[in-house]
Amino acid sequence: MFIQIACAAFMLCACGGNQTSVKSFDDIVASRRSVRDYDASKTISQEEVMELIKCAQEAPSWANQQPSKYYVAISPEKVAAVKELVGDGNKRNTAGAPVMIVSTYVKTRSGFFRGNPANEIGDGWGAYDNGLSNAYFILKARERGFDTLIMGMRDSDELRKLFAIPDDECIMAVISLGYRASDPNRPDRKPTGEIVKYY
């Protein structure tokens, strides 16, 4: 238990966490959900989003390449435009979310050495690093009382045009950010014994 609390404190302090608002890491993880019902009456400021992105920057990456980038739709017009590009289901799911974020990574950085893939995974390491950054982002969001939904259904070509995203960046996900309007159920997890082997 001490180790878990110490890890949580380290992570949140490293991410600029406020000591007065720190919850245990277990509480943050246990309360995080993929939220599909947002309170449209609540907003999130640019400064609050920046706090989450600064935390995401603390995530590890291949040779510290830090390939992740974030394109934040915070004006009503841009938010509405992004919601048109995530499919009808996700448009409904994110109707009340005040912020929409496009997550990308710069290609041929993570997983490469002198311009060549370091192993068979190649640019998959960029996706891996981006996933780590996004994990820090959504956990910090939850620590601050916000909620998120990571979406893979999106029109990447139109998102690229909307934000003028360079061709050397791979668009990974769209993340909605807001406050839950209702508490979603927690789906069951597989028994831990099914996903681990000790030798």
51-73 per-position pLDDT tens digit = 999 999 999 999 999 999 999 99
Q: Rounded distance, CA 93 to CA 119, Å?
A: 38
Residue 91 lies in a domain: yes
How many domains in the chain? 1
Residue 17 inside a domain? The answer is: no
Domain with 103, as residue range(s), is 34-183
Asked whether residue 16 is domain-assigned, the answer is no
pTM for this structure? Answer: 0.89
CATH code: domain of residue 78: 3.40.109.10
Q: What are φ and ψ of residue 90, in 5° steps? A: -70, -30
- Looking at residue 22, its pLDDT comes to 56
In a domain, 15, yes or no: no
Element (H, E) at 117: strand 116-117
Rg (CA), the chain: 18
pLDDT the model gives residue 9: 46
* 24: in domain: no
- Quickly state the pLDDT bin for 4 (edges 50, 70, 90): very low
Where on the phi/psi map is residue 64: left (φ > 0), alpha (ψ -120 to 50), or beta? left
